[in-house]
Amino acid sequence: MSRIFKTSKKMTSTLNGITLKGSAELVADFFSFGINSILYQRGIYPPETFSRVTHYDMSLQLTTDPKLKNYLTNVVSQLKEWLFECTVQKFVLVITCLETNEVLERWQFDIDCDKSAKESSAPREKSIKIIQDEIRSVIRQITATVTFLPLLETPCAFDLLVYTDKDLLVPDKWEASGPQIIDQSEEVRLRSFTTSIHKVNSMVAYKRTDSV
Amino acid sequence: SAYKDLNRVSSSSRNSNFRKKRQRNNRVCCSKVNVSFKRLCENLDKMAQFGFENDIHSILKLDMPITNAPMARWQRKASSSNASALNGLSPGKSANVSLSTTKTPSKTPGKTKKQTPSKMGGDRFIPTRNSKQMDVASFLLTKENETVDTNEQNATSENQKAMSMSLNGYNIEEAKILHLGGKPLNAPEGYQNNLKVLYSQGATPASVKKTRYISSTPDRILDAPELHLNLLDWSSCNVLAVALHNCVYLLDASQGEITLLMKLEHEEDYICSLSWTKEGSYLAIGTSDCQTQLWDVYTQKHLRSMASHTSRVVSLSWNDHVLSSGSRSGHIHHHDVRVANHHIATLTGHSQEVCGLQWSPDGRYLASGGNDNMVYVWPRVQDGPANQAVRCWSEHQGAVKALAWCPWQPNILASGGGTSDRHIRIWNVNSGSCISSLDTQSQISSLVFAPNYKELVSAHGYAHNNVVIWKYPSLTRVAELNGHEDRVLSLILSPDFSTIATVAGDETIRIWKSFELDPIKKKAKERLAKSTSGAIHQSIR
């Protein structure tokens, strides 16, 4: 991806650098595509309700279901705000058995925000391409986890949880929730990526199965 | 070359493992992961497997009826009770859910609960309370009522923090958890997750006996849809390549990981043949749209597509840098993959589909078998005009797909006939005569020589659907491997010769560890192999 920059110092620095706003967007984008990928890979929604798009130089699945799309857009846009304000600590996707409400799988993304970015507006030096490469690796790993995650044989539901600062003003339509931890889980840590302002660590926990 | 280095490293690691093993006991042991293989795993790990489940899902959807589908909407309405979902509601709200939505109005009218399909006929809703959440609730409740003594405050706050961390996984003093309330979002009614288990492992007993134990039950079973022709190959790096309709998957045989290598663009196209190069870094793929594709599996890159055939490419065989391909047209093409004009020779002889194609281990002869019941032997490119067959045998009365060269005796070829023939024939290419022939009573789809115990293995379709191990050269029956429920279509030997993989019309791939050597003999063989030649080959004397 090469573009011709005018030799103006100001312009090149904003194009190459990462601002707090830009970082929040990158991370929110990752969550949007990541959640879609997980919903697709784990079969929470029928595969035919997804369509293939290209992003991060790779082929990804995005839902076409309007209600789901709307819900995800709402969550992600609120998340973007919180990322900008550096008030979000974790983002969790919980998969539960529809009938018994048992938590079967839990994808947790820990977010470390460098709060000093709030004070200074000077963009950080990190190539967007490198960030995208890192994000691509994480999404690839998410896809690859399918080889060892136990089958979700019952119809499942999912929920998205956000761990925020204690004193955050809760917006309309958002409610308190429990952590929805899995009883006796196996945990696998995945790769992390950083925009130099936000660092995202990913992991997946799943219910330990007794069979081999 | 890099390949030689890898093998040197891997064979030394194998030796050290066996030294340890011998100290322990004499049990027959499984092949160990070697260094070159770990590197492949790391590389494969970086590769994605897009569309994997989607394809499996769509393939299986055609074949499998949904056995435990939820009741149709009208059926559910007919039965009086309905279930409602508790999804997405926090513990505090669980009390609001009613057992029967038809009778009791919900307390929060704004939050309507969507009717969900009942699974397997059970439609009574039983709320399950997460025990941990109950702990949090009671903890928070008691906390409010406690009068906090300022002297004790420091001590108890530490305890509280620790308790909070262990209960919740986070410190509730510093964070809170939110989620977007509203209608629970579920998949459309009637949707069942169709992902099937691709891989499951069953245990087989390890042998302790002196006479080797051939387990008649398969070691591992992988589920796969219907396959045809030459869709299975095992690389020298221990990676199994298997094709399903229009996708090629790589199965890392030691780790059990499955990766999607490639998928054909058009749904109506399908893979017809697969063949690994000797080093195991490139995979040749023959397709129904008459192409032969070449892939680099380490980088997961498509290197080139060679179009020269007028019909589907159903058989492939490598001879160093020459790839030979057989087509439905009856023609065999030689491709020099190093040059742009890859198509260097055409062999015409067969009048029907060339379903069997095998270069001899020393690269001197190419054996081909066709739907026209003929077996041809062709010379290698440098030994004179390529399109003049050295041998032409018409004894078989059925299609010859099964072809195998003997790795320990040069110029010996085994061929197997289809339904109307059922014979295994052993030929001497030098003399041109048929040394022996045997009626196996069953269509033969594949043949493989197993060097460890000097045996010949045949895969059968109608009517036995099994695999038979024969002693060579006596052709006396040693064992039968039963398990497949439909025609066994392909058979392949692992690079360490201890295992065979079979694929059948019953939509499974089975792995049989039937040729494991006991450690002492294996070490002796390795010492012998190391001293005689550098390159790893099947020539064990």
d(CA B273, CA B323): 12
Rounded to 5 degrees, what angle do the CA atoms B210, B206, A150 make?
Answer: 170
Who contacts B199 (Cβ-Cβ below 8 Å, separation ≥6)? A147, B220, B222, B256, B258
Amino acid at B144: E
Backbone angles phi, psi at B110, to 5 degrees: -65, -30
Mean per-residue pLDDT for B153-168? 61
Partners of A139 on chain B (C-beta within 8 Å) are 48
Judge contact between B355 and B314, C-beta under 8 A. yes
Partners of A161 on chain B (C-beta within 8 Å) are 177-179
Partners of A144 on chain B (C-beta within 8 Å) are 45, 48-49, 257, 259
Judge contact between B350 and B330, C-beta under 8 A. yes
More confident of the two residues B84 and A45: A45
CB contact under 8 A, A157 and B54: no
d(CA B427, CA B412): 6
Who contacts B403 (Cβ-Cβ below 8 Å, separation ≥6)? B356, B357, B358, B367, B368, B369, B375, B413, B414, B415, B416, B447
pLDDT confidence of residue A178? 86
Centroid of chain to Cα A206: 18
Kindly identify which residue of chain A lies nearest to residue B259, measuring between CA atoms: A144
Judge contact between A143 and A41, C-beta under 8 A. yes
pLDDT confidence of residue B516? 84
Q: Which long-range contacts (CB under 8 A, 24 or more apart) does B440-444 make?
A: B440/B416, B440/B468, B442/B466, B443/B398, B443/B417, B443/B418, B443/B419, B443/B487, B444/B401, B444/B402, B444/B416, B444/B417, B444/B418
Mean per-residue pLDDT for A22-41? 93
Lowest mean pLDDT among A142-146, B95-99, B228-232: B95-99
| pLDDT band, residue B530 (cuts 50/70/90) | low
DSSP at B333: E
pLDDT higher than threshold 50 for residue B89: no
Partners of B90 on chain A (C-beta within 8 Å) are 175-178
Kindly identify which residue of chain A lies nearest to residue B187, measuring between CA atoms: A45
| pLDDT band, residue B173 (cuts 50/70/90) | low
> Chain-wide mean pLDDT for chain B?
70
pLDDT higher than threshold 90 for residue B148: no
d(CA B405, CA B382): 20
* Stretch 108-127 of chain A: residues touching chain B, C-beta under 8 Å: none
Centroid of chain to Cα B111: 47
Partners of A146 on chain B (C-beta within 8 Å) are 49, 52-53
DSSP run (H or E) holding B284: strand B282-287
Which is it for the CA torsion B370, B372, B374, B379, positive or negative? negative
Q: Which long-range contacts (CB under 8 A, 24 or more apart) does B19-26 make?
A: B21/B519, B22/B519, B22/B520, B22/B523, B26/B208, B26/B518, B26/B519, B26/B520
The C-alpha R_g of chain B, in whole angstroms, comes to 30
CATH class of B227-396+451-529: mainly beta
In angstroms, how far apart are the furthest CA atoms of chain B? 103
pLDDT higher than threshold 80 for residue B63: no
The answer to whether residue A16 neighbours chain B at the CB level (below 8 Å) is no
Backbone angles phi, psi at A15, to 5 degrees: -75, -35
Q: What is the pLDDT of residues B30-57, one digit of tens each?
A: 333 333 333 344 444 443 343 444 444 4
DSSP run (H or E) holding B276: strand B271-276
- Strand runs (DSSP E) across B69-170, as ranges? none
Q: Which residue has the tokens 């018994």?
A: A100
Secondary structure (DSSP) of B23-47 = HH-----PPPP-HHHHHHHHHHHHS
Q: What is the pLDDT of residues B416-462, one digit of tens each?
A: 988 778 899 999 999 999 999 999 988 899 999 999 999 999 999 87
The answer to whether residue A45 neighbours chain B at the CB level (below 8 Å) is yes
Shortest alpha-carbon distance between residue B204 and chain A (Å): 13
CB contact under 8 A, B187 and A102: no
Please report, for chain A, the start and end positions of each structural domain, with discontinuous segments joined by +: 20-207
> Chain-wide mean pLDDT for chain A?
84
Nearest to B169 among A71, A175, A179 (CB): A179
Q: What is the pLDDT of residues A18-28, one digit of tens each?
A: 888 899 999 99
- Size of chain B, expressed as the number of residues it contains: 541
pLDDT confidence of residue B302? 93
Shortest alpha-carbon distance between residue B286 and chain A (Å): 25
ipTM of the modeled complex: 0.78
Q: What is the pLDDT of residues A122-175, one digit of tens each?
A: 888 888 888 998 998 888 888 877 767 887 878 888 999 999 988 888 888 888
Mean per-residue pLDDT for A44-68? 87
Backbone angles phi, psi at B65, to 5 degrees: -75, 150
- Size of chain A, expressed as the number of residues it contains: 212
Inter-chain contacts counted by CB atoms under 8 A, chains A and B: 176
DSSP run (H or E) holding B292: strand B291-296
Shortest alpha-carbon distance between residue B141 and chain A (Å): 15
CB contact under 8 A, A178 and B133: yes
DSSP at B197: P
d(CA B469, CA B33): 27
Q: What is the pLDDT of residues B270-303, one digit of tens each?
A: 899 999 999 999 999 999 899 999 999 989 999 9
C-alpha dist (Å) from residue B87 to A10, A185, B114, B472, B502: 50, 20, 10, 64, 44
More confident of the two residues B186 and B252: B252
Q: What is the pLDDT of residues B441-450, one digit of tens each?
A: 888 999 999 9
Lowest mean pLDDT among B81-90, B231-240, B256-265: B81-90
More confident of the two residues A56 and B326: B326
Angle between helices A66-85 and A20-41 (to 10 degrees): 150
Mean per-residue pLDDT for B362-388? 89
CB contact under 8 A, B87 and A67: no
Nearest to A143 among B48, B132, B191 (CB): B48
3-class SS letters over B221-268: EEECCCCCCECEEECCCCEEEEEECCEEEEEECCCCCEEEEEECCCCC
d(CA B325, CA B204): 38
Shortest alpha-carbon distance between residue A8 and chain B (Å): 39
Shortest alpha-carbon distance between residue B161 and chain A (Å): 14
The distance in angstroms from the start CA to the end CA of chain B is 26
Closest C-alpha among A202, A142, A197 to residue B50 = A142
Who contacts B370 (Cβ-Cβ below 8 Å, separation ≥6)? B326, B330, B350, B351, B352, B353, B354, B355, B356, B376, B399, B400
Dihedral of CA atoms B366, B370, B374, B379 in degrees, nearest 10, equals: -10
Q: Is the peptide bond before B463 cis (omega within 30 degrees of 0)?
A: yes
Q: What is the pLDDT of residues A117-129, one digit of tens each?
A: 888 878 888 888 8
Overall fold of domain A20-207: Cell Cycle, Spindle Assembly Checkpoint Protein; Chain A (3.30.900)
Question: What 3-state class would DSSP assign to B341?
Answer: coil
Tokens of A62: 């995005």
C-alpha dist (Å) from residue B445 to B225, B361, B410: 18, 21, 23
Shortest alpha-carbon distance between residue B394 and chain A (Å): 47
